[in-house]
Amino acid sequence: DAKTTQPTSMDCAEGRAANLPCNHSTISGNEYVYWYRQIHSQGPQYIIHGLKNNETNEMASLIITEDRKSSTLILPHATLRDTAVYYCIVQGGSEKLVFGKGMKLTVNP
Amino acid sequence: DTGVSQDPRHKITKRGQNVTFRCDPISEHNRLYWYRQTLGQGPEFLTYFQNEAQLEKSRLLSDRFSAERPKGSFSTLEIQRTEQGDSAMYLCASSPGSRVRYGYTFGSGTRLTVV
C-alpha cells in the first residue's frame, strides 16, 4: 500500500477554507485516496474518498491531481468543531486501512 | 440507527487479568473491524469479519487476543493475561460492504488501562 505524507500540523481561521494537502507519489492505479478525521477522544470519522475524479459531499471536497500523486482535502468554511487530526490514507484491495500519524488541524476563532 | 456502540467505554484492569470488549455494529452492516490505537499514533488494524467469518488477522493479534462474531451481529474482543503494553484504545468499525464503496463507521472506542 502506498505511503502518504502530510504536514504535522496546520492552523486555519474560523470561517475560512481549510486546504489540507497530502502527497502519495507512489500511488498505483487501483488505489483509492481516503480521508478520515479524529476528534479528541472519539473514533475516526469517515470524510470522503476518491479514485481519480474530484469528489464533493456535504462535509468536504477532495481534489486529486491528474497524475494522482497528491491530493487536497478542502473544508470550505472551517468551524471550531473541525479541529481534529486528519488522516490521508491510500489503499488498494485490502480491507484494512493503514493509518499514519495524520495531521493536526487547529481552527482558531 | 444509533451508530457503532462499544462497551465498556473505559476499563482498568490488573496485569494478568482477562478482559472482554463488546462491539455492536450498525444493524445490517456485514463487515466489522477491530483496530487498536496508542497515544499519539494512528489506529492499527487488528482483524475483520464479514458476517461471522473472520477473514483477516494482523500479526499484532497475538495468541492472547481472540475475536468472535458468532451470529454475524455483535463482536467481542478478548485479551487474556493482559500486559501493560496492551494499554490502548480499542476501536470497532463497521461497513455495509466493501470499503472501496463505503467508508467505515467507527465507534467511540474502549480505553483499556492495564496497571
Tell me, what's the pLDDT at A74? 98
Tell me, what's the pLDDT at A2? 62
Picking from B42, B56, B105, the nearest residue to A99 by CB comes out as B42
From chain B, which residues contact A within 8 Å (Cβ)? 4, 31, 33, 40-45, 48, 55-56, 58, 91, 93, 98-100, 103-109
Tell me, what's the pLDDT at B6? 97
- The chain B residue lying nearest A104, using CA atoms, is B40
CB-based contact A36 B105, cutoff 8 Å: no
Partners of B90 in the β-ladder: B36, B110
Sign, CA dihedral B62-B64-B67-B70, equals positive
B81 burial type by CB count under 10 A (0-12 exposed, 13-18 middle, 19+ buried): exposed
B62 or B68, which is more confident: B68
**B41-68: burial string, b at 16+ Cβ within 10 Å, e else:** ebbbbbbbbbeeebeeebeebeeebbbe
Please give the mean pLDDT across all residues of chain A: 93
